[in-house]
Amino acid sequence: MEEQLLEMARRRAEAAEVYGVDSARTVVQFRAGRLYSQETRLTRGFGLRVVSGGRVGFSSSTNPDAGAELVSAALETASLGRPARAALPGPAPGGKVALLDNRVMLASSGRMVEWGGDLAAALKSRVPDMKVDLHFGRDIREVVILNSSGVEVRYEQAVFELSVAGLLVLSDGLFWVRDYVNLSDGQPLRLEPVADRLTALARAGRRRARLATGSYPVVVMPTAVPDLLLPLEFGVNGKQREKGTTPLLGREGERILDEKLTVVDDGLRDYAAGSAPYDGEGVPRRRNVVFDKGEFCGFLFDLATAAACGTSTTGSAERDYGSTPSPGTTNIEVRPGACPPAGALAGLDEGLVVHSFIGAGQSNLAAGDVALNVSCGFKVEDGEPAGRVKDAAIAGNVYRLLAGVEAVGHEQRNLGRYLVPFLRLPDVRVATRGEA
Amino acid sequence: MESIAKVAVDLLRAEPVPAGRYTVVVDPLLAGVFAHEAFGHLSEADCFAENDRLRELMKPGTRYGVDGLSIVDDSTLDGERGSYRYDDEGVAGGKTELVRDGVIAGSLRDRQSAARMGRSPTGNARAVSYRHPPLVRMSNTFIVPRDADLDDMLDIERGLYVVGSRGGMTELESFTFSARYARLVEHGRRTKMVRGVTLTGNVFETLRNIDAVGSDLVVFGGLGGCGKGGQNQLPVGIGAPHVRIRDVTVGGS
């Protein structure tokens, strides 16, 4: 289908590109410890991008028999499209990355039901009053990218993830604990570590502590770090560079973050959700260091934004079949630091340790602002968790918060698109129900 | 357009709001977001139908707010963005009172949660497209107008007049939502603009702290929509009149 579509389009356009996806998504959900639903969603779709009269047109469909209509629609939109700023890429060797383990392909929904039941039972025996929701999601997809410059890319990918949420209804309200496991590498689910982590949080949360509004050292555990990184992901995006709406404009080579922080956009991490040998327009994926020991290294570009900014693509085009490419992050890694797990809270007379936030993305990302409600967090006293903090929020500017990081953990958590350690921030404004 | 441009320019000079607890007067858009995010999602029965202890929390007759507070979900409003005749299970849409005079009055149900609870569906099963199963979702959710006057609501020594919405999120009883901007209220007068205003807290406490509900109801549609369970951009209507809430935690600078 993709070949025929490209052939039809190239006869009528100056340049053409077909992006095809054939995917199967299987979801198994448990609610309150019981199997709630199973579903499988099959999708096959095609996106056609053309250059006609020097302008870009695009159309997409899930109908494999709609080739002629797709070509006509793409050409029609080109008449009103934006000028083509960059030529389509030619063939090049793809990045080396492991994307598919056969054991993931073979994991049936029956197996997910079995694992879910075992995990729910294990948690029920440890924390009887905790209601457990589980979500297994497995995506198997085949991607095809063809263009009139000779690109012919085909790859298969399988992403398999488990999210767990435990809810405790306590005398003073509700308390959520959460965990995540990336199963994409084909290893069987190890129940014990998940159950251990959730049980520890649930037990610690039964004790309540009060924290007055003020500024404190805050330890952001790996599970909460991605919410803190969101403004950085926005700021390094080549689209914002093109529009001039990023505080990083013109600051390549400048130290922006603490020198303990090296942040990499790694499109070639084995079995990570954002990995692929090529980006969304057939350019080889690569590892892009965006902050090296705190120094800003550069923006992430697709072909069009790179051309607009007078530079080269970084292989960062993201898309699905129904959308045109746009630059984006793939998998974000914060490189490990020197602090062992036992050092996370060590020496803190008073502070806060956060395992999860809610509210990411609502603040002014362009400015780097964050305002996050602490969903699962504990007061720290004399280097130990002293009880759950309820109804607290942290606020500040990520560029300032991460300019002075006290410690970076040397163990990373694999959170799918993120591979991150804990971060200890020395001075964060915390608003709570307690008096200042 | 001029107003949007002026706000954007003024925001460049605005200082971040100091974090703390404030009495806030919330404009109809943000109050509507509160009704939707903070209480509406909690009223969706699939979140508590499987959990006896949560069902107890949301039991009809339980008081969580003042007498003047009523919240309604209504898919039959003419021309609103969340309106429909039938939900995506073919059940007729309708009007459901969620809170009546401060007391829990009802919940939103699809056929599955209704069966689980031994109740009737309310016509609130909705899917964003044929590719997704219907979930319990809101339609047009709004705070019912009363008679408080905005100038009277602003008659406070110190607080915030909070305007517009940059989105919101909820985790059952916990909520957070961000305003476009706010103005300090000092001795009954709106004064300087502040930015970075995020209201956060506990739904039940916040409902109890609503002490004035205005008469100027506005129901908003607009672009975007509601997200839940991986189904985003569901068209909904949200609305409220001006509302005053005591003792709200504001996460600012």
pLDDT per position as a tens digit, B117-154? 999 999 999 999 988 999 999 999 999 999 999 999 99
Q: Does B57 touch chain A (CB under 8 A)?
A: yes
Q: Which residues of B touch A129 (CB under 8 A)?
A: 53
Answer whether A431 sits within 8 Å of B251, measured CB to CB: yes
Question: Touching check for B134 and chain A: CB below 8 Å?
Answer: no
Contact across the interface for A358 and B169, Cβ inside 8 Å: yes
Å between A81 CA and nearest CA of chain B: 23
Residues in chain A with pLDDT values less than 50: 436
Kindly report the nearest CA distance between residue A254 and chain B, in angstroms: 24
Q: Are A262 and A292 in contact (CB under 8 A)?
A: yes
Predicted local confidence at residue B252, as pLDDT: 63
Q: What angle do CA B21, B25, B26 make, to 5 degrees?
A: 105
| Residue B112 touches chain A, beta carbons under 8 Å | no
- pLDDT at residue number A436: 46
pLDDT, residue A250, reads 95
Burial class (CB in 10 A: 0-12, 13-18, 19+), A117: middle
Q: Judge contact between A418 and A183, C-beta under 8 A.
A: no
Q: Which residue of A has its CA nearest to B50?
A: A32
Gap from A349 CA to chain B (nearest CA, Å): 22
Cβ of B133 and A37 within 8 Å? yes
Q: Is the pLDDT of residue B53 over 60?
A: yes
* Separation CA A204–CA A315 (nearest Å): 44
Distance from CA of B51 to the nearest CA of A (A): 6
Q: pLDDT tens across B159-207, in order?
A: 999 999 887 788 888 888 889 899 999 999 999 999 888 888 888 889 9
Q: Is the ipTM of this complex over 0.90?
A: no
B142: tokens are 């709004």
Contact B166 A31 (CB under 8 A): no
Size of the A and B interface in Cβ pairs below 8 Å: 124
Q: Is the Cβ pair A373, B251 closer than 8 Å? A: yes
Nearest residue of chain A to residue B48 (CA atoms): A32
Alpha carbon of B197: minimum distance to chain A alpha carbons (Å): 8
Q: What is the mean pLDDT of residues B105-128?
A: 95
Cβ distance A131 to B200 less than 8 Å, yes or no, reads: no
Helix axis angle for A2-12 and A67-78, nearest 10°, is: 40
Please name which of A276, A283, A273 lies closest in space to residue A333, comparing C-alpha atoms. A273
Predicted pLDDT at B2 = 61
- Kindly list the residues from chain B whose CB atom is less than 8 angstroms away from the CB atom of residue A216: none
Structure tokens at A88: 């389509």
Contact A389, A374 (CB under 8 A): yes
- Alpha-carbon distance A91 to nearest alpha carbon in chain B (angstroms): 35
Say if B21 is an interface residue toward chain A (CB within 8 Å).
yes
CA torsion sign for A114, A118, A119, A124 is: positive
- Determine the pLDDT at residue B253: 59
**In terms of CA atoms, which chain B residue is nearest residue A29?**
B229
Query: Is the CB of B198 less than 8 angstroms away from the CB of A167?
Result: no
Query: Of B16, B172, B178, which is closest to A362 when you measure between CB atoms?
Result: B178
Q: State whether the Cα torsion B69-B74-B79-B82 is positive or negative.
A: positive
Residue A152 identity (one-letter amino acid): E
For residue A94, the model assigns a pLDDT of 95
Strands, E assignment, A183-234:
214-220
Q: What are the structure tokens assigned to A355, written together?
A: 């395992």
Q: How many domains would you assign to chain B?
A: 1
Instruction: Give the structural domain span for B28.
Output: 4-251
With contact defined as beta carbons under 8 Å apart, do B139 and B75 qualify?
yes
Q: CA distances (Å), B79 to each of B76, B140, B171, B222, B239, in order? A: 9, 11, 30, 12, 14
B168 interaction partners in chain A (CB closer than 8 Å) = 362
> What residues of A are in contact with residue B20 (Cβ under 8 Å)?
213, 431, 436
Considering only CB atoms, which chain A residues are within 8 Å of B204? 173
Q: What is the pTM of this model?
A: 0.91
Any chain A CB within 8 A of the CB of B178? yes
Q: Which residues of A touch B21 (CB under 8 A)?
A: 213, 431, 433
